[in-house]
Every structure is written in structure tokens, then in C-alpha cells.
Structure 1
Amino acid sequence: MKSHLKNSPPIPAPLAPLGRIRDITPRDVQAIQQQLGVNSIKDVITAIINGRLETVEGLKPAQIKNIRRAFKLNKTADSRVPLWDARLAGEELLRALCQFPEVEKATLTGSLRRSKDTIGDIDILLQLSEADHRKLLYKIARMAQTERIIATGPHHICLILRNQLQADIRLATRKYFGASLLYYTGSTQYGDSLKSMAAQKGFRLGPLGLVDMQTGEYVAGEQETDIYHQLGIGYLEPELREDHQSMAALQSIPPLVSFSQLKGDMQIHTNWSDGTESIAGIARYLSHTFPHYQYIVITDHVSAKRPNHVLPPADVFRQAAEIDRINDQMGFGYIKKGVETDILENGEPELAPEVLQQFDWVIASIHTDFTRDNTDRLIKACENPYVHCIGHPSGRMIGMRPPYPADWNAVFDAAARTGTALEINSRPNRLDLNDELVRKAVRKGVKLVINSDARTLSHFDFVKLGVSMARRGACSKKDILNTGSWEDIEAFKAAKQQLLRS
């Protein structure tokens, strides 16, 4: 009796990737080709986008889902995860993959390397010691993190992790690692721009390197920088490889801000309000964990109108005395006295001027009326002489609440005119301002502050997300206020007073 495989129709070469998808048989490929009239993977993707795959007789929902996953077409807003969660999962997967002797190098690529605020799946590139990856495929299938393999190809493994995230693992040898890293990091638009530039210079660019179109000879590909050099342009940081600007404009951007350049965290909540840690415990932890910090600012919520999880105004002076005592023990003024106050409906801060004057740093934030246009409210807060910074300015909560309506050009103009800083709140569900608003604010000359908004010790690492938003917004060190010393902060505050008097 003939086997099932011997009776199977041949798979046309252009549709071979379909045949490598889990649970897709040659007969399924034939049905897709004949019923949809597709003759290439591009045709298949178009059919999926247009909803025609579901019309193929005999295809089960699970098969359709596997095909969509294999071509990265299963993503919806609900299926995306916050950048922080994706980073943790991606780094765990990298550590597991690096245990295999075949893997010489492993790195994140795609939107995760570009630090988009939400991630559809985890993209990884492995440098292998040899092209044959069959043994590696077997090991990956048996990893603790792997639930199932969805598809495989000569240079690609697609799998579903036990946390239900999809991971797409690309494979390259050393000769092509840089080219593959470049190819799989940028957005489609950025990749198309690079390929067009390469073609104008007589090259073909792809994951297998930069190739001379006339001779077919390999020119570069081991390092990303080698390819940029051959194209006659400078290296571009991954966060900027989107589609915002022309290639010429991207070349004029100064060096991007880095986490190591931050001198302090300027929004921290303690167990005096809605945090879990003491002021002394926070100071001890940060002075050891982030030794490059020169100062930290305690900014507990102070309110008489919100009784839960806030610091009553009557306790402000007791907290200030505790900060003085801890600073005396540390031998210098490491801890600064700050506050987060609500912006009321009329744009005024809830706390009175005589209270706000007592603080080294005042953040004013909107915590009510998220659906109304808050332009006037934000501008009024900027015009207050005792408000130094607007906290989480757009009010968005990723996946839960959109930004409230506002005329952001008017808000940024007011912030620049009054010398008021705006926050990049680094909490994973905020990342507010986002990269687009960061870019617009900086162009208006607004100073930004990257804060953790921490409630517990594990939250202090969130500032790395805020740095990523700043980098995606093309911020350099000069754009971020807390890359400066505390003397620079004091000068910024004095400049605001001067601006409001003039």
C-alpha cells in the first residue's frame, strides 16, 4: 500500500514555506493554491489580509491560525504586550538559547530591538557555528520555554512559548550576521529605504549581505556598521529605524541619550503614600544599585481630597524632617523633597502656594476627567510659578485608556514659554509622553524628565523604558533635564521664575 506522502501532490517551489508550517499538508497547500488562485507567498499574504483564507474548504481554524502566525498576521491590539513584559520574556529566551554550543551569539531584533511601546512577538537572531541547524531545532523544541513549533525553514524557526507569546528565531552564520541583524531590525519602510539606497549605489541588500549587483560578489555583512559604511552613511541607532524622517534627516541627529547619563530619578513614591518602601530603604537601594545617581526626589501624592493612599498635607513637614535626618546620616543632600499634586479642573494645583514653596521639586498631574479636552488645564498648570514639571502629561494607560484630547502644539508652546518640564513616565503601562509626543516636544524646545514613578524597589528599572522612549523620540543628553546635576535643576527652576517675570 502506498504511503500518504507518496500520494501527496508536489508543493510548488514558490509556496514551499506553506508546506513547512505545522499541520499544513501538501494537499492543504494545493487547496489553497487552487481555491484562492495564489502562486507566491506574497499572494498568500494578500489573501490572508483580505480574509480569503477562511474560505478555503477543508482548512480548520487551528491550521488557519498557524498560517497567520507563521506570516506574522495574527496580531491585534489585544494580542500585543507591553515592552517591559516582552523584554523580560525575550531576555529569558536569549539566556536559554545561549546555553546551546551551536549558538555563538544571540540578540533581539524587530520591534523589540527598536523598543516600540507594545510588542506583537519576540524576534531573535542567532549566530550559528555552522549552517546545519537540525540539531538546534530539536533542542529548541525541547526547551522549557517552548510549547510548540509552528514553522521551520532553512534560516527560520517560529514557535509558541508557554507564556503564549510567539517567537520568531532567525539563523545566520558569522558572515551574514550583521546583514541579517540590519534586515530584521528596521521597520518595513526603513528597510525599503535602505534597499533603495543600496540599489542606487549598485548593490543588493538582504539578510545574506550586501552584494554587488553586477558581479554577484559579497561586499559586506558581518557587521551592521560595515554595511552602513559601504552605503556611505553613518550608523543609525535601532530605535530610530522607523519611517519618521528622510535618510538625510536621520544622519543629522546627535548622539542619543543613554541610561548611564541619568543623574537621578525625580518621581518616587514611598510608604508615606502609595509605595511599599521606606525613604531610608529606597536611598540605600538606589545609592548601591544605581551608583551614577547623584540625587533622588521623593514625590509622594499629597492631597486632602483623595483620602486613600496619599500623604495628608499635615504630614508634609514630618516627612521633610525624616528626609533631613536620613541625608544627615548619608553625609550629603542625596534625597530631595518633592511632591506630586493634582491638577484641578480649573488648571490650578490642589496644594496652596505656601505649601508648594516648601518643596525642592513639584510635579503636577491630571488624575480626573480623562475624556475632556485638557489643553487649557495643562497650559494653566504650566503657567503656575510653583509647578516645575507636568507628570504623565497625556494621561494614557496602554491597553486601557487612550490619551485625553489636547492641543499638544499649544501645550508644548506653553511649556517652552514658561520653562516647565514635561515627564516621560516610565511605568510600563504609561510610557507617557510617548515617542511621537517626545519628538514634537523636543522640537519646541521643551525640557523632559525621565522618571520611574516607582512604588517598590523593582520599579526603579523602569527608567530604562523611559530612556527608550526618549531615544525613539531622538532625544540627546541636552534634552533630558535629569542628565544634569542638581545645580542644573536649580538653574532650570530659577530660569522659570525669570521667564514668568519677563
Structure 2
Amino acid sequence: MKTFLKNSSAISASLADLGNIRGITSREVDAIQKQLGVNSIRELIPFISNGQLETVTALTPLQIKNIKRGLKLYKTAESRFPLWDAYLMGEELSKAIRQCPEVEKVMLAGSLRRGKDTIGDIDILVQLNDADRRKLLYKIARMPQVENIIAAGPHHFCVVLHNQMQADIRLAPSRYFGASLLYYTGSVKYNAEMEELAASKGFRITPEGLMDSHTGEYVAGEQEVDIYRKLQLDFVAPELREDHDILTAAAVHEIPLLVTFDQLKGDMQIHTNWSDGAESIAGIAKYMSHAFPHYHYIVITDHVSSTRTNHVLHPEDVFRQIAEINRVNALMGYDYIKKGAEIDILENGEAALSDDILQQFDWVIASIHSDFSRDNTSRLIQICKNPYVNCIGHPSGRLIGIRKPYPVNWDEVFTAAAASGTAMEINSRPNRLDLHDEQIRLAVSKGVKMVINSDARTLTHLDFVKLGISTARRGSCRKTDILNTGSWNEIEKFKAEKQQLLKK
């Protein structure tokens, strides 16, 4: 177990927290203070950013790395993780911590709770009494997920996991658990705006609670909602705590009631072993009817193409697949599986399949799978004019960390989609999350309906819709903005309205 730094009188109290980082002694802290001329961690951070920490002769490369990790300033090209990977690891670590009898409550915080596309590190808030802190540290150090402990202070553990992901575990008693959750969820800009608003009302927000600025008296902090109520604000969902002016809406009680996972009625993009998926139609139907009991329908949307050769369903096999779907539906006793397709959008914006074929499907998704560097505005606008194309799949074409979105004038595309009655997909695959939140917000403001899909190839991929829900919430989506929160009859009405609209 680490021996904590006993601060000498020469060391600034504001630098004392460096002594909570493994391997850092009072001698190293003293060297940092003297050689860099800093007296607080706030003053130290710019020196870390411009590389001057490396000039402190008393520090080894490992110590420098640990200081950066302990202060959440350690960044490499590999230091950000997909949201899904971070979510799974965060849930696994939270579950392990929750098993400790001294722990009263565990919540994910930080950018993971806000549902950002990629995550730098996992933030977890743990409720327990101060007397149990050392017991918990002992147990965390021996958890199979934990490789080593970087820092261990009175209210904070910083650990590195075996996949090299960092987890910052904050500790708080019940009295100010909600205040700590609010603070450590962020974002930094949102917290600054909350602090400014609180100050205007005579309060001060800290991780230890909402305080009266004049008396210093504790006002609220056990739950987040208590703080919002004292500030006369609507509760702001974590996904909305970013850079847009959400607090103005919270002050006038105009926060949207965001869509939730249990409101989804079905998944409308699933691939099977008829194209590039791994599972049979029957296997998917059986699994989903048990794993997602609130779903009323699913749509099989294998890639259908007459030009591509690998991992596609050829047009001549469409009727064989339709017959298989009918067979499985008959065994299930109701029309659970809908017949869909994902088709290519050609370079000129036309559908890669004829209208005669498209009319055989219950749902058609059209996607761009070529020419990713060109401006695809006209291409997307043109496909919206096809009466049998119901939805644009992964509209921006981005692959997070691999391929940037292609150039598009989204204002024009969303205007065309709204005018033609064409839905836009929120693709839930972790490397896509496409559309992203800012585009979603613009699309919804123009009246475009969104569809949240897993785009699954395996059974485990079907859970990706949770990421799609999170992305939709970041885009301020209500239930009514999401087409597949409605019944299939409502979707049929949506389709019919588009065809009627385009006939005028």
C-alpha cells in the first residue's frame, strides 16, 4: 500500500495533491515547485502542456507519465476509446465495486455519462463513508480489471486497467453525492455556466454541495435534482450538458423530455447471413423476441446489389428471402419480421435498384458506399426524391478515427428530407454514431424524422441501439422525433404519406 506524502512546510499546499500520485515524494514536488516556479496545480498545467515538466531533473519518465495520468493530462493517439468499449468496461468495473459491502452507491460520470463519441477515461463516483476508504482501495487494487494504482488521495483513486484505459474513482458521502455527481459529470463549460448562474442567485456550487455564498451554509447536494430545484431550473439530462445554451431552456422550463430506450418499438436495420451478417433470420428473431421484449417488430435489411459480388443479397434471391421471412413469421404466429433492404446510392443520386424491386420491401434504406471524398449534397437530395426510399443510412459516412464525414450541405439535405418525407438514420455502431448530435439537432429542427438502428451483424451488436439512444438524447430528441418509437401502422402511414407527397 502506498505511503502518502507528508507535506513539508516549504511545499505549497496547492501542490500537496501531487503527493497522492504513486512514486512522487516531497523531494520531487519540491523540485517541481523550485525549477518551474509554480505554487499550485493550476499553475503547473501549462508547463505540462508545453513539455516543460520533462525538464525537471528529479523526475523519471515514469513519474512524469504518472503525474500526467493523475492529473488527467496524459494523452496519446491511443488514449481515446470508442464509447461502447468504455461503456462495457465502466459497467464491469462499477459492478465489481458495487459488490463491496461498504459501498452504498456507484454511478458512472464524466464524458461516459454524457455519451460522447469517444472517451478519454472512465469516471466513476462511489458513495461510502470516509472510514471505509482504505478498505475499498485495498479491494480495488486486487480487482482483476485493475493493472495498477496511479494515485490514491483522500477522495480520489486513479487506476490503470488492463486494457490501458484509465479510471478515475471519486469518493463522496451521501450528504453531497449528488453535488459530486453533477461536478464530475461536467462538461467543464457546463459546470462554469452552472457556477455563474448559481453565483447570480447567491449560491456557490462545489463537489461538496450547493452553498449559500454569504453564510457558507450547505443548502443542497444529496441529489442532483435538489440543486437544480434550488436554482429554479429544470433538471438537465447528462447528455445535454455540453456547449449549447441549455441552461436558458432550463430556466424557462423548456427542457425536452428525451427519448428513452424502452420507448423503441423495433430495430430497423439488421443484417443476416444472407449478406454480411453472421446469424440466420430465425436465430435473430428468436433471440430478439426474448432479449428485447418491448420490440414489436424488427426489419431485416441485408445489402441488396446487382453490381457488388461479395457479402450481398442478389436481386434474384430477394423472393427466396421473403419466403424465409414469411416462414419464420408463421412459426412465431405474427408478422414480427419486416422485409427490408439496404441499397446503394449511385453517383448520380439514383437508387441502385429499380422501383419494381424496391416495392417488394416493407422498408428501404439507401446509403452511400462509394466516393467518400466528394461533396455528396446533390446525391443525398436526389435519393430523397425516390418514393420507395424510406430512410438514408449512416448519412455522413464517417468512421470515427478512420474516415471523416464527406462534405455535405446539411441544411439543404435536411430541408429536402423534410419536404419529401424521408427519414434519417442514427446508426448506432460504435465506429459510426451517424448522424451525430449536432446534425441530429439541425435535422429535427427542420421536421425530419429520425430512426435509431443497431446496424447489427451479430447478436451482440443488437445492444448497440443503447448508443443510438444516447446519441439521439445528445441531439435533444423526444420520443415523437424517433420514427421507430411508433407502431408499424404509424410507419406504414409515414411511407404512404411520402408516396402521396411525391405524386403531387
- TM tier relative to shorter chain: over 0.9
| Partner Cα distance (2:208, 2:326) in 1 | 61
- 2:221 equivalent in structure 1: 221
- 1:115 equivalent in structure 2: 115
What amino acid sits opposite 1:34 in the alignment?
A: K
- Picking from 304, 325, 331, the partner of 2:333 is 331
SS of the counterpart of 2:308?
A: coil
CA contact (8 A) 1:87 1:112 kept: yes
| Partner Cα distance (1:156, 1:122) in 2 | 13
What amino acid sits opposite 1:221 in the alignment?
A: G
Shift of 1:10: 4.5
- 1:309 equivalent in structure 2: 311
Q: How many corresponding residue pairs?
A: 498
- 2:424 equivalent in structure 1: 422
- 2:275 equivalent in structure 1: 273
- Picking from 366, 369, 380, the partner of 2:368 is 366
| Partner Cα distance (2:233, 2:77) in 1 | 35
- 1:153 equivalent in structure 2: 153
For 1:251-266, list aligned pairs within 5 A: 251-266=253-268
Q: Which runs of 4+ in 1 moved over 3 A?
A: 5-10, 129-132
CA contact (8 A) 1:396 1:432 kept: yes
SS of the counterpart of 1:192?
A: helix
The Cα offsets for residues 282-321 of structure 1, whole Å up to 9 and x where unpaired, read as 1111111111111111110011211001111110011111
CA contact (8 A) 1:442 1:475 kept: yes
CA contact (8 A) 2:376 2:406 kept: yes
What amino acid sits opposite 2:86 in the alignment?
A: A
CA contact (8 A) 2:342 2:365 kept: yes
The Cα offsets for residues 144-197 of structure 1, whole Å up to 9 and x where unpaired, read as 111111112121111111111100000001111111111111201111111111
| Partner Cα distance (1:361, 1:254) in 2 | 29
1:71 aligns with 2:96: no
| Partner Cα distance (2:492, 2:96) in 1 | 47
Coordinate RMSD, CA, aligned: 1.6
| Partner Cα distance (2:28, 2:356) in 1 | 75
Shift of 1:246: 4.3
- Picking from 321, 324, 331, the partner of 1:322 is 324
Shift of 1:254: 2.1
| Partner Cα distance (1:12, 1:316) in 2 | 73
For 1:323-402, list aligned pairs within 5 A: 323-402=325-404
Shift of 1:6: 10
| Partner Cα distance (1:263, 1:323) in 2 | 19
CA contact (8 A) 2:86 2:119 kept: yes
| Partner Cα distance (1:223, 1:366) in 2 | 46
Report the TM-score when normalising by structure 1.
Answer: 0.96
The Cα offsets for residues 83-131 of structure 1, whole Å up to 9 and x where unpaired, read as 1100110111011111212211111000011111110000000000345
Distance 1:131 1:179, change over 3 A: farther
For 1:114-133, list aligned pairs within 5 A: 114-133=114-133
- 1:180 equivalent in structure 2: 180
Distance 1:137 1:501, change over 3 A: same
CA contact (8 A) 1:78 1:399 kept: no
Shift of 1:55: 2.2
Structure 1 unaligned blocks of 5 or more: none
SS of the counterpart of 1:135?
A: helix
| Partner Cα distance (1:414, 1:59) in 2 | 60
Task: Tell me whether 307-316 or 207-216 shows the greater mean CA deviation.
Answer: 207-216
CA contact (8 A) 2:12 2:40 kept: no
| Partner Cα distance (1:434, 1:242) in 2 | 14
SS of the counterpart of 2:125?
A: strand
Shift of 1:495: 1.2
- 1:135 equivalent in structure 2: 135
What amino acid sits opposite 2:493 in the alignment?
A: A
1:43 aligns with 2:57: no
Distance 1:314 1:258, change over 3 A: same
CA contact (8 A) 1:19 1:25 kept: yes
CA contact (8 A) 2:417 2:423 kept: yes
CA contact (8 A) 1:8 1:27 kept: no
The Cα offsets for residues 6-44 of structure 1, whole Å up to 9 and x where unpaired, read as 998853211101122112221211221111111111001
- 2:209 equivalent in structure 1: 209
Distance 1:493 1:6, change over 3 A: closer
For 1:30-109, list aligned pairs within 5 A: 30-109=30-109
Distance 1:456 1:7, change over 3 A: closer
SS of the counterpart of 1:168?
A: strand
| Partner Cα distance (1:433, 1:293) in 2 | 23
| Partner Cα distance (2:372, 2:155) in 1 | 47
| Partner Cα distance (2:405, 2:337) in 1 | 32
SS of the counterpart of 2:452?
A: strand
SS of the counterpart of 1:15?
A: helix
CA contact (8 A) 1:239 1:468 kept: yes
| Partner Cα distance (2:500, 2:78) in 1 | 47
- 1:232 equivalent in structure 2: 232
Distance 1:177 1:415, change over 3 A: same
- 1:407 equivalent in structure 2: 409
CA contact (8 A) 1:267 1:451 kept: yes
Shift of 1:243: 1.5
Structure 2 unaligned blocks of 5 or more: none
- 1:431 equivalent in structure 2: 433
Shift of 1:273: 0.8
What amino acid sits opposite 2:202 in the alignment?
A: G
